[in-house]
Structure 1
Amino acid sequence: MKLMKAALLASVTGLVAVPALAQQEVVWWDFLAGGDGVRMKALINQFNEEHPDIQISGTTLEWGVPFYTKVRTSAAVGQGPDVMTYHLSRLPLALEEGVLTPITDDDLAAADLSKDDFFPAPIQAATGDDGQLYAIPFDIHSLVLYYNKSFLEGSEFLDDNGNLTGIGSLEDFQRALDIAKENGSETPLSYQTGGEGGVFRVFYTLLAQQGGTLIENGEVLPGDNVEKAVRAIQIMTDWSEQGYTPEQAEYEASVALFTSGQSAFQLNGVWEVPTMNDMAADGTLGYEWGAVQVPTLLEQEATWADSHAFAIPVQGDEEMDPAKREAVMTVIGWMEKHALAWADAGHIPAYKPVADSAEYKAMEPNATYASLANTAVFDPRSPIAGVASPVYDAAINVIAPAIHGYLSPEDAVAQIQSDLQGLIR
């Protein structure tokens, strides 16, 4: 007891240094730029301030193929991060390459999480064929329909509160587009018609709304999915021929058509919600807007979606130190519980306690389209699918020319089958 008192007295008077807490450094990689990057950096800084014993050392790498290539090569030699962001659409390729470690029940417990805390669709997308969980979903980011209220004033498509209503079929939507055109919208429906992402997301949504599938059991467009794919491309072609959509619009141009007030509608990801909110707040937007789940234009509710998730890569031939792994899971658990700040970027939290919270339900337009978490359709479970994949290449190399009249929908589908089937091992 005397020794303890002496040590305490000495530490107070500065005669003896008090040992610092052992600190775990968690090496973090992500691919988040723009508003996503700003929000994630803020979360990392907040975590570090609250956890002197665990410090995240973050690095942002280039999105897409460069990121996933670096993950693959670094994992092989044990030079990768301790934790990283990952698109769930890329999980099948990751499992084929063997670059991810399973997330065990003990890991989830260390993060104070369970599978039941998450929406089923992203959990399924994060699970391998062996039943093991290989990533923890952070959000659901999907295609939504943005609308400019000024082009629909006085029509059947705005309710008494000025919210979009009355679109329950393809015919309804086309009537709304016609009304918008009559009211001065030069290009009523904007989306990225000259880029792989926009083309694929719209095509895949229309395919899924028919109950269609792109790849199943290693076969590209099996059975009547050929007819469903042709129909999806024909709809996109019709929109182009009728002057509803822009010709070969790159991403930035497709967004500008809507934000400048030229397009009445925009099919784009939830990630543009901050752009709209910021422009509305600083007075540069010039009209009232909203965003909703993509209406059911065909036979069933379905919307293309993906998830940012957290994953732990393999470390070459080495096993991660248990204390380090516990620190990594602490980071992931904290991020999930603070996902409201991430939702500010337009995303739907995959962690249901946050998605069900009063704070999230007060966020608009997020709360309006949050229902799509239950109807989200993820990319095909195939190593050739997902962001920056051969499937996305097919969207720009085959589907885009078709919707602009350079290829018939039937020929486009035949080429997609031929191109993609040859890549499936």
Structure 2
Amino acid sequence: MKLTTFAKATAFMALAGTAMPAYAQQTVTWWDFFAGGDGVRMKALIEQFNEEHPDIQIEGTTLEWGVPFYTKIRTSAAVGAGPDLMTYHLSRLPLGLSEEVLTPITEADLEAAGLSEDDFFESSINAAKGPDGTLYAVPFDIHSIVLYYNKSYLEGTRFLDDEGNLTGIESVADFEEAMQAAADNGSQTPVTYATGDDGGTYRVFYTLLAQQGGTLISEDGEVLPGDSTEKAVKALEIMTNWHEQGWQPEQALYEASVALFTSGQSAFQLNGVWEVPTMVDLAESGSLGFEWGAVEVPKLMDTQTTWADSHAWAIPIQGEEEMDPAKREAVMEVVGWMEKNAIQWADAGHIPAYKPVAESEEFAVMEPNATYASLAEDATYDPRSDVAGVASPVYDAAVNILSPAMHGYLSPEDAIEQMKAEIQNRM
């Protein structure tokens, strides 16, 4: 088309009130670590955003979860070759701060996204801040372990109410009674979790420690300070007893631990909310074979709390350069849109960290999410230490020390002392 013809067409469309087609003005380079069902849902959100925002286009890349992701962030951000926006575990925020790869999220940034700190659950927004109160990430969800249950093994016991919901578990003794009742009703492995894996072992241990009011790493860097050592021993003794009673699987890796529940061999499963889509899909396909539910991990010890983490949005440094203000505004528009559309992410089992979605009518009818949503107020995040959190030395200690101990290879007391020394040496 000649320029004069294009100009005439433009003028005609303007006079006719016809909108000109929009063209991408900003490209947001995005890195995440979502695979499986999480990955499918996140890709759908990206596609929807791009369709609705022709002036801002997300170019998404999915990298390997865990240590590989955080290593790549560190090396790429330092030379200005990282993404404009990335997903980040809040449990790894201390590592990001010590490596100086994160940029602060300012009030102007939040305003550009149409957000404020008050929009988020207190536990998640606090975990997104540095020691001085500076915000470095925007929480997207709260994910935790929950207690899944197979109703068939609890029929005729005091642990199902008239509506078939789990009830009556208010202590370790109650939970152990429920497991024995399930065993009496034919459950081969009454409770399953990844007893031979880092995440499964650590999350159950940390929940039992936190429910006693124990501290794994204090703010000044002391490992298991005060009476927390005794509380850690108690937590490990409980897990060891479950092994000795034959209630939990022998050194089960993650996939095997899930299969024990989905195949109907286990009455209970202690696992993340991220397995909710697995259960929903199996139930809808008719291949599950039993009725199930999921609840917040009960108050087994002194306090109602559960290990939790959050996926969040963070903006890495750009080497020695600063992000163009227009690009940063586009990045924050992406963040704001994702938060306001988080109901689609909740479909993966997560609890939205953005309260207007978590408190919406749409989320209130989403099951079993709404049933365990109370954990958002009760969550205990990992210690603020660069040796704690996802894919950290603390997780290594769980699989290398705690898991062998609960399988009888060393005493709980010796294991906790070894764990203390191992973590302290890595700090």
User: If the length of structure 2 is used for normalisation, what is the TM-score?
Assistant: 0.96
Q: What corresponds to 2:146 in structure 1? A: 144
Match for residue 130 of structure 1 among 132, 141, 147 = 132
- Is 2:311 the partner of 1:308? yes
Q: Secondary structure at the match of 1:230?
A: helix
2:195, 2:253 within 8 Å by CA — same for their partners in 1? yes
RMSD of aligned C-alpha atoms? 1.5
Alignment of 1:194-213 (within 5 A): 194-213=196-215
From 219, 222, 226, the equivalent of 2:225 is: 222
Q: 1:67 aligns with which of 43, 66, 69?
A: 69
> Which residue in 2 is equivalent to 1:414?
417
One-letter amino acid of the counterpart of residue 70, structure 1: K
C-alpha offsets along residues 385-407 of structure 1, whole Å, 9 cap, x if unaligned? 01000000000000000000001
In the other structure, the counterpart of 2:158 is 156
2:283 corresponds to 1:280: yes
Q: What TM-score do the two structures reach when normalised by structure 1? A: 0.96
> Which residue does 2:239 correspond to in 1?
236
- SS of the residue corresponding to residue 263 of structure 1 reads coil
Shift of 1:274: 0.3
Structure-2 separation of matches of 1:395 and 1:71: 25
CA distance in 2, matches of 1:11, 1:123: 47
Deviations 1:137-158 (A, max 9, x none): 0000001000000000011100
Question: What is the one-letter code of the residue matched to 2:201?
Answer: V
CA contact (8 A) 2:22 2:54 kept: no
Q: Quick one: which of 167, 170, 181 aligns to 2:169?
A: 167
Counterparts of 1:2-401 in structure 2 under 5 Å? 6=8, 8-9=10-11, 21=23, 23-216=25-218, 217-401=220-404
Structure 1: unaligned runs, 5 residues or longer: 13-17
Unaligned runs of 5+ in 2: 1-5, 15-19
**Counterpart secondary structure, 2:373:** helix
One-letter code of the match for 2:341?
Answer: H
Letter in 2 for 1:241: E
Q: In structure 1, give the amino acid aligned to 2:392.
A: S
Shift of 1:8: 3.8
Amino acid at match of 2:70: Y
Q: CA–CA distance in 2 between the matches of 1:305 and 1:387?
A: 11
In 1: Cα distance, 2:242 partner to 2:157 partner: 21
Deviations 1:103-145 (A, max 9, x none): 0000000000000000001111100012110000000000100
Aligned-partner Cα distance in 2 for 1:89–1:169: 28
Matching residue's letter, 1:166? G
The CA distance in 2 between the partners of 1:238 and 1:10, in whole Å, is 80
CA distance in 2, matches of 1:214, 1:10: 69
* Residue aligned with 1:219, SS: coil
Structure 1 residue identity aligned to 2:198: E
Q: CA deviation at 1:9?
A: 4.7
Mapped to 2, the partners of 1:48 and 1:232 lie a distance apart of: 47
Alignment-mate amino acid for residue 128 of structure 1: G
Amino acid at match of 2:311: H
Aligned partners of 1:22, 1:156: CA distance in 2, in Å?
Answer: 60
Report the identity percentage: 72
Q: Say if 1:323 and 1:9 are closer, same or farther in 2 by CA, change over 3 A.
A: closer
Letter in 2 for 1:359: E
Specify the SS of the correspondent of 2:330: helix
CA distance in 2, matches of 1:114, 1:88: 18
1:52: Cα distance to partner? 0.3
Q: What whole-Å deviation, never above 9, does each CA across 1:81-123 have from its counterpart, x for those lacking one? A: 0000000000001000000000000000000000000000111
CA distance in 2, matches of 1:351, 1:408: 43
Instruction: Report the alpha carbon displacement of residue 23 of structure 1 after superposing the two structures with TM.
Output: 1.1
* Letter of the structure 1 residue corresponding to residue 339 of structure 2: E
Letter in 1 for 2:76: S
Q: Whole-Å Cα distance in 2 between the matches of residues 226 and 140 of structure 1?
A: 28
Once residues 22 and 32 of structure 2 are traced to their aligned partners in structure 1, the CA distance between those partners, rounded to angstroms, is: 30
**Aligned letter for 1:257?**
L
Distance 2:254 2:215 in 1: 26
Whether the aligned pair in 1 keeps the contact of 2:24 and 2:57 (CA below 8 Å) is no
Corresponding residue of 1:15: none
CA pair 6-279 structure 1, distance change in 2 beyond 3 A? closer
C-alpha distance in 1, partners of 2:45/2:349?
16
